[in-house]
């Protein structure tokens, strides 16, 4: 199923404008910079974009950004015209976060792709126990990167609030309405997703479904099409009980993403598998991804991109707590640390990290997305499952959280973006902070 952008025209021409979804004309002086791609740093906020080195007007300084070479550029409010002048393109900075193009500004910490291929070629030969020990040793050796922050990165939240502040200045308003992130007056959203790694994992899937259903929750189970025997009876049962089946690749390896040609050649198979499983959502095996290619997936949504995940074979992060568009595809970043990361790699013995992250995302009105696995070694183990149950309890007792299926969330994100307002749309407020340069985001009453 290919989603057509003709069907619904977007509210804003810019991606950042689509995230804020304010129905007000913008009058900002923001354009591509004349410098090379660079970090721009203000306090502990850093963004990646081409700085505008020339043309700054005289006026009141809103924020000063430091460049790695020691020079600075500033956002200026032109006193005569009351038009903020931004020393970089706001949309470019946003896209460089969510597309992970910021990697261009870092020394590569990710395994090079030839190493990944070698790893996957050898993986079936290495006992799982040894793989995990190697991963633990690797994790001890690396320090968590400075950027993106883990487990919570504030970058896009800051950029959005900065953009909203500049918009208010330009409109000469103290506050303005914008389309709230979630339907009605839900404060934040939460979705549960599982990647099924093995036939044994699929056999155990209904047990997780039981835990969720008892608490009024539903989730998606992402299946690998050609990797292990698939019990169609389990898929049918899950669907009938209101759970969602998604696609976790054709094979659980790197083969989909070796080259763009190989990727495109496999798309008909992806489409056929999705049709067979009645799936509209995708998560890439081991979250391998190439941002631009994801937009070509013949599906409604993808959830392969982390918010911030430095401990995967392909570390990185979109730095955002909200879905975004890649072409017509809705990308929904997973925002909680994975079960494997917390309980196996880091050896955590409580659900504390998850619960703290839920609080942090809810207070920022973002998307809580948990990625876990029903398989042995993951939530198939009783101890780890107990931590998951704690998370489910915490989610179930929060009526202020919207808890749809992932596919319903993707549909919502499209409706919110359409020119015609949806029935369940409500409006939040952006409000100028006194000292700036940020606006607050206020939920509908």
Q: Which stretch binds Zn ion (CB under 5 A): 93-101, 160-168, 189-197, 302-310?
A: 189-197
CB of 346 to Zn ion, least distance (A): 18
Q: Is 195 in the site for Zn ion (CB under 5 A)?
A: yes
Q: Give the shortest CB-384-to-Zn ion separation in angstroms.
A: 16
Nearest CA-CA partner of 363 in 440, 418, 268: 440
Closest distance between Zn ion and the C-beta of residue 355, in Å?
24
Which CB, 195 or 253, lies closer to Zn ion? 195
For the chain, what's the residue count? 445
Minimum CB–partner distance for residue 370 and Zn ion (Å) = 14
Select 158 or 307, whichever has its Cβ closest to Zn ion. Answer: 307
Q: Classify residue 424 by its DSSP letter.
A: T
Q: Which is nearer to Zn ion, 15 or 287 (CB)?
A: 287
Contact 237, 184 (CB under 8 A): no
Report whether 323 contacts 334 (CB < 8 A).
Answer: no
Query: With respect to Zn ion, which residue has the nearer C-beta, 51 or 201?
Result: 201
Q: Which of residues 304-323 bind Zn ion (CB under 5 A)?
A: none
Q: Is 253 in the site for Zn ion (CB under 5 A)?
A: no
Task: In angstroms, give the least distance from the CB of 260 to Zn ion.
Answer: 22
Q: How far is the CB of 122 from Zn ion (least distance, A)?
A: 17
Binding residues with Zn ion: total (CB under 5 A): 2
Between residues 135 and 431, which has the closer beta carbon with respect to Zn ion? 135
Question: Among candidates 361, 372, 247, which has minimal Cα distance to 307?
Answer: 361
Pairing mode, strands 244-247 and 220-223? parallel
User: Taking the complex as a whole, how short is the minimal distance between the CB of residue 153 and Zn ion, in angstroms?
Assistant: 23
Is residue 339 at the binding interface for Zn ion, with CB under 5 A as the rule?
no
Measure the CA–CA gap between 50 and 36, rounded to whole angstroms.
Answer: 5
197-236: contacts with Zn ion (CB under 5 A): 197
Closest to 278 in 3D by CA, of 223, 203, 332, 328: 223
Question: Cβ closer to Zn ion: 195 or 302?
Answer: 195
Report the distance separating Cα 149 and Cα 151, nearest Å: 6
Q: Is 220 exposed, middle or buried (0-12, 13-18, 19+ CB in 10 A)?
A: buried
Closest to Zn ion by CB, 195 vs 328, is: 195
Q: What are the backbone angles phi and psi of residue 66, rounded to the nearest 5°?
A: -95, 135
Distance from C-alpha of 210 to C-alpha of 345, rounded to nearest angstrom: 27
Per the CB < 8 A criterion, the answer to whether 207 and 238 are in contact is no
Q: Which stretch binds Zn ion (CB under 5 A): 194-202, 266-274, 342-350, 434-442?
A: 194-202
Residue nearest Zn ion, Cβ-based: 195
d(C-alpha 311, C-alpha 326), whole Å: 24
Minimum CB distance to Zn ion, residue 216 (Å)? 27
Q: Between residues 153 and 197, which has the closer beta carbon with respect to Zn ion?
A: 197
277 CB-side CA count, 13 A: 30
Angle between the N-to-C axes of helices 199-214 and 382-396, in degrees from 0 to 180, rounded to the nearest 10: 40
| Shorter beta-carbon distance to Zn ion: residue 100 or 195 | 195
**Residue 123, CA distances (Å) to 207, 252, 314 in order:** 28, 11, 16
- Interface map 255-274 toward Zn ion (x if CB under 5 A): --------------------
* CB nearer Zn ion, residue 195 or residue 331: 195
CA distance 132 to 117: 18
Which region, judged by CB under 5 A, interacts with Zn ion, from 13-21, 74-82, 187-195, 267-275?
Answer: 187-195
The least CB distance from residue 224 to Zn ion, in Å, is 7
Stretch touching Zn ion by CB under 5 A, among 18-26, 161-169, 190-198, 410-418: 190-198
What residues line the site for Zn ion (CB under 5 A)?
195, 197
């Amino acid at each position: 199923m290919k989603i057509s952008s003709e069907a619904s025209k977007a509210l804003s021409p810019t991606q950042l404008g689509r995230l804020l979804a304010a129905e007000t004309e913008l009058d900002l002086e923001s354009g591509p910079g004349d410098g090379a791609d660079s970090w721009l740093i203000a306090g502990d906020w850093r963004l990646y974009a081409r700085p505008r080195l020339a043309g700054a007007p005289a006026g009141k300084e809103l924020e000063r950004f430091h460049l790695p070479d020691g020079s600075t550029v500033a956002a200026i409010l032109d006193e005569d015209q009351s038009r903020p002048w931004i020393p970089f393109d706001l949309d470019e900075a946003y896209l460089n976060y969510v597309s992970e193009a910021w990697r261009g500004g870092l020394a590569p910490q990710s395994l090079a792709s030839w190493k990944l291929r070698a790893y996957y070629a050898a993986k079936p030969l290495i006992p799982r126990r040894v793989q995990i020990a190697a991963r633990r040793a690797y994790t001890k050796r690396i320090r968590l990167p400075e950027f993106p922050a883990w487990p919570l990165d504030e970058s896009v939240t800051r950029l959005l609030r900065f953009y909203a502040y500049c918009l208010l200045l330009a409109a000469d308003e103290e506050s303005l309405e914008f389309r709230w992130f979630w339907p009605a007056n839900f404060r934040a959203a939460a979705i549960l997703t599982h990647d099924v790694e093995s036939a044994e994992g699929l056999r155990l899937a209904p047990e997780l479904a039981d835990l969720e259903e008892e608490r009024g929750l539903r989730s998606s189970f992402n299946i690998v099409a050609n990797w292990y025997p698939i019990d169609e009876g389990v898929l049918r049962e899950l669907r009938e009980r209101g759970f969602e089946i998604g696609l976790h690749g054709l094979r659980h390896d790197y083969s989909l993403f070796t080259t763009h040609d190989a990727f495109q050649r496999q798309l008909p198979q992806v489409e056929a598998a999705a049709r067979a499983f009645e799936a509209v959502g995708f998560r890439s095996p081991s979250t391998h991804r190439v941002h631009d290619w994801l937009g070509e997936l013949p599906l409604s949504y993808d959830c392969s991109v982390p918010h911030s995940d430095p401990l995967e074979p392909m570390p990185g992060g979109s730095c955002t707590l909200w879905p975004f568009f890649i072409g017509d595809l809705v990308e929904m970043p997973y925002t909680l640390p994975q079960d494997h990361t917390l309980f196996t790699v880091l050896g955590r013995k409580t659900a504390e990290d998850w619960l703290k992250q839920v609080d942090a995302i809810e207070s920022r009105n973002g998307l809580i997305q948990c990625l876990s696995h029903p398989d042995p070694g993951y939530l198939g183990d009783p101890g780890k499952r107990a931590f998951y149950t704690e998370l489910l309890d915490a989610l179930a007792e929060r009526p202020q959280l919207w808890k749809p299926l992932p596919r319903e969330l993707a549909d919502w994100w499209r409706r919110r973006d359409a020119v015609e307002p949806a029935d369940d749309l409500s409006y939040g407020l952006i409000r100028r902070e006194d000292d700036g340069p940020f606006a607050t985001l206020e939920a509908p009453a």
